Amino acid sequence: MIYPEGFLWGTSTSAHQVEGQNVHNDWWDFERRFTPSGAACAFWEHFEADLDRARALGTNAFRMSLEWSRVEPAPGARDEEAAAHYERILLACRERGLRPILTLSQFTLPRWCAAAGGWLSDETLVAFERHARWVGERYGDLVDHFVTVNEPNVQGGAGYVSGVFAPGTRFRPDLADRCEDALVRAHVAAYRALHEAVARRHPAARIAVGPSPHVIAWRKSPWDPLGVFLRLGARFNWRFVDAVVASAPETLDFLGMNYFMGSPAHLMGALRIAGLAARPMKAGTSEMGWPIDAKGFEEALLDAHRRYGRPIVVTENGIADSTDALRPAFLRDHLAALDRAIRAGARVRGYCHWSLVDNFEWHEGYGPRFGLYAVDYATQERTLRPSGELYRRLIEERTTKELVR
C-alpha cells in the first residue's frame, strides 16, 4: 500500500466557523462589519450528529479547533462547563473511531487578548503558553495530534495588510511581519508547553505537534516576468516554517499543510486572493476566485518534503462550490496528486478535507460553501453532497488493495 498504516483520513472544521455563539472572541465584534456568525452550524449543540456524519464518510480522523475564549472568557477565569463540553466532543470523536486533530488557534483570540494588543503583545504570548499547558493537561490523553497555530502566514497579512481579518488594520506590512514573528514564538512555546504537560500528566500518551501554514503553488508566469510575485509567494509560503526551523527545529513533529490553490493567472487575481481587490468569479477558479490546481498540490507537498523532510499532515484542502459541480473532479484530482506525492517520497501522514459541513467563511460570511454536507442555515439541516459520497469511495479505494505498488 502506498498509504502507511494509520494514515489519517479526515474532515476539517474550526470552532468559530461551526460552533455558533462564540460571543467572547474578537471576531464576534469584528464580523459585524460583514456578516455576524450568529448560530453558525450549531455544532456546539449538534456535534454528535455531525460526528456521525464524519463517520459515515469512512473517515478515521476529525480536525476541529478549541475556542480559547470559551474555556477562558476572562484572564485566568476557567469556564468549567465549556471545558467539560470539549471533553464530551473529543470523547464522542473517539467513540466513533475518529482521531481528533485539535487546533489551538484558528484566527480568533479571546476578546481580552485582543484588547491587550492581540498577537503583537507579549501578554498574549504568555497567556497562550499557559493555555497550551492547560490544554495538554486537560485533553492530552484524548488527542494525539495538535496544531498549534492555523495559517500563521495568513493571519498577519489578513489582519494587518488587507484588514479582512481581525483586528482589521490595513497597509501595515511591518505589523504583519511582527504578527507572524509572534506566531513563531507562540508555536514554539505551545509546542513545548503541550509536550511538557502531556509527559507530566499523561505519561502513557504520545502526541505529535505542528503548525499548519497555508501553501500556494506559485509558478513563473507571463504577467510576472521578473518573478517578483514568485519570490513574494515563496516568502508567504515558507517564511514562518523557515523561522521555526532556524530557531527551534525540534518543534516540528509534523508539518501541517493547508492547500487550496495554484498561482493566480494575473495580477488582479493575486490582489483578490490577498483580499486587496473585489472578487468576480472566473472559469477555472472556485467560488472564492481561487485557481484550481491539483498538480500544484503534488508540487507543494514535494516542495515541503524537500525543504524540511518532516512528516506532513494535510490539514485542509477543499473548494467553495455551492452546486457541487467542480468538487468531484477537484477531489479525484487532488487525491491522485496526493498519491503521486507519496509515491515520490513525501512523508504524508494524513489528509483532511475542508470541510465536513458548509460553514462561516470569515469576512465572506455564509456565501462560500465548502462542505461535503450542504447546510440549510434556516433549519440546520444537512444534506450529503455527491462529492461526500465520492470521498467515501476514494478513501475506501485507498485503503484496499488497488494502490499496492
**Angle at the Cα of 67 from the Cα atoms of 254 and 99, rounded to 5 degrees:** 45
Mark the segment that binds ligand BGC (CB under 6 A) among 149-157, 247-255, 329-337, 397-405: 149-157
Q: What is the DSSP letter of 285?
A: B
- Residue 96 Cβ vs ligand BGC, minimum distance, rounded to whole Å: 23
Give the per-residue contact string, 45-84, with ligand BGC (x = CB under 6 A; - = no).
----------------------------------------
Return the number of the residue (60 or 106) whose C-beta is nearest ligand BGC.
106
Return the number of the residue (318 or 388) whose C-beta is nearest ligand BGC.
318
- CA dist 318 and 327 (Å) reads 8
Q: Which residues have CB under 8 Å from 184's CB, separation 6+?
A: 152, 240, 243, 244, 247
Helix (H) or strand (E) holding 312: strand 312-316
- For residues 110 and 25, the answer to whether their CB atoms sit within 8 Å is yes
- Residue 17 Cβ vs ligand BGC, minimum distance, rounded to whole Å: 6
Phi, psi of 178 (to 5 degrees): -60, -40
214 binds ligand BGC (CB under 6 A): yes
354 binds ligand BGC (CB under 6 A): yes
- For residues 186 and 128, the answer to whether their CB atoms sit within 8 Å is yes
SS3 state of residue 357: strand
Contact residue for ligand BGC among 25, 150, 237, 285 (CB under 6 A): 150
- CA dist 248 and 238 (Å) reads 15
Number of shown-chain residues binding ligand BGC (CB under 6 A): 12
- Which of 160, 101, 124 is CA-nearest to residue 25? 124
Subset of residues 21 to 50 that bind ligand BGC, contact rule: CB under 6 A: none
- Residue 347 Cβ vs ligand BGC, minimum distance, rounded to whole Å: 22
Question: Locate cell 455576524: which residue?
Answer: 36
Give the per-residue contact string, 239-258, with ligand BGC (x = CB under 6 A; - = no).
-------------------x
Mark the segment that binds ligand BGC (CB under 6 A) among 76-84, 150-158, 241-249, 375-383: 150-158
Contact residue for ligand BGC among 151, 224, 293, 303 (CB under 6 A): 151
- CA dist 73 and 167 (Å) reads 18
259 binds ligand BGC (CB under 6 A): no
The footprint of ligand BGC (CB under 6 A) covers: 14, 17, 106, 150-151, 154, 214, 258, 316, 354, 361, 370
